[in-house]
């Protein structure tokens, strides 16, 4: 019977000698230490701790209500934590006096819903944040938008409006919008959950290309194939905790009953 007093955490990635790329990174770019978060009487995060190294892909999996999306939102200070510490790109996210603008210049986030402005073209949607947040000149913002659209394969859709694009194309445009801000870390929260399998595939291919290019990413997803093939680190969350953690190989031989049951239910 599994001991419910705390999670079972694997340590495959703790051996810094196992990967030259990890050894080259002196310190994590994202660190959560004993993070707690409640909504009213509901405890959502119950002592979450993990770190993310620069240039790696961390995938967070778990059942609905396990706390995975809340953890992601806390990293970008969309939710305030009750206790613990979060450090991202040198910013102390739990500091009440944090400069949120500075944090969000370094950390991009893409959600399940695209949140594109329907009255603006795709190019205008992408130009908006660099111009309004970073005070980038119009022509520079347009160049950033074109570069971002090229990275997601949508150069030919720059003058289109969101309603003229498929769901997968709109999600790729949302990713381009974040890329145009030139973030150091990208967060993805269930970005394919509203898409059919074909559109899911086109979005995941874009994210795989970003991973191949060295973008640091944290992704909440139910796409186990992506976790197995692309992730450097997999976190399984259960009851508001990191219940099991390790390299993608742990998905073939889970150590806990809870992860075994989760993987069976996902088939």
Mean pLDDT of 99-123: 93
CA atoms within 13 A on the CB side of 177: 26
> Would you mind telling me the total number of residues written for the chain in this entry?
267
What is the spatial distance between Cα 1 and Cα 79, in angstroms, rounded to a whole number? 35
Per-residue pLDDT tens digits for 199-221: 899 999 999 999 999 999 999 99
Higher pLDDT, 23 or 73: 73
pLDDT at residue 2 is higher than 60: no
Would you say residue 1 lies in a domain?
no
Give the domain range for residue 94.
Answer: 12-116+183-266
Supply the pTM of this predicted model. Answer: 0.87
CATH number for 204: 3.40.50.300
What are the helix (H) ranges across the chain? 20-24, 68-75, 100-106, 122-133, 138-151, 167-179, 197-212, 224-230, 257-266
Q: What is the gyration radius of the CA atoms in the chain, in angstroms?
A: 19
- The per-residue pLDDT for 15 is 42
Mean pLDDT of 140-168: 96
Mean pLDDT of 208-236: 94
Would you say residue 63 lies in a domain?
yes
Structural domains counted in the chain: 1
Mean pLDDT of 164-173: 95
231: left (phi over 0), alpha (psi -120 to 50) or beta: beta
Would you say residue 136 lies in a domain?
no
Would you say residue 165 lies in a domain?
no
- The per-residue pLDDT for 6 is 52
Would you say residue 164 lies in a domain?
no
Would you say residue 98 lies in a domain?
yes
């Amino acid at each position: 019977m599994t001991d419910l007093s705390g999670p079972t955490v694997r340590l495959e990635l703790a051996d810094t000698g196992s990967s030259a790329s990890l050894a080259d990174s002196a310190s994590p770019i994202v660190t959560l230490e004993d993070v707690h978060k409640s909504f009213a009487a509901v405890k959502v995060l119950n002592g979450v701790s993990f770190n993310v190294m620069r240039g790696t892909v961390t995938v967070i999996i778990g059942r609905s209500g396990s706390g995975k999306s809340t953890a992601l939102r806390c990293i970008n200070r969309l939710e305030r934590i009750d206790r613990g510490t979060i450090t991202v790109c040198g910013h102390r996210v739990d500091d009440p006096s944090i400069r949120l603008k500075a944090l969000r210049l370094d950390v991009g986030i893409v959600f399940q819903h695209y949140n594109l402005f329907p009255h603006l073209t795709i190019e205008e949607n992408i130009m908006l944040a660099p111009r309004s947040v970073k005070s980038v000149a119009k022509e520079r913002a347009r160049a950033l938008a074109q570069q971002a659209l090229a990275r997601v394969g949508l150069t030919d859709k720059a003058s289109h409006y969101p309603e003229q694009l498929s769901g997968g194309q709109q999600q790729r445009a949302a990713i381009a919008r974040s890329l145009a801000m030139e973030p150091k870390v990208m967060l993805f929260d269930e970005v394919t959950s509203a898409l059919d399998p074909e559109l899911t595939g086109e979005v995941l291919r874009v994210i795989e290309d970003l991973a191949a290019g060295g973008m640091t990413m944290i992704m909440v997803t139910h796409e186990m194939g992506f976790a197995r093939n692309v992730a450097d680190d997999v976190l399984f969350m259960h009851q508001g905790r990191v219940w099991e953690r390790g390299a993608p190989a742990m998905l073939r031989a889970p150590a806990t009953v809870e992860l075994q049951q989760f993987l069976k239910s996902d088939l």
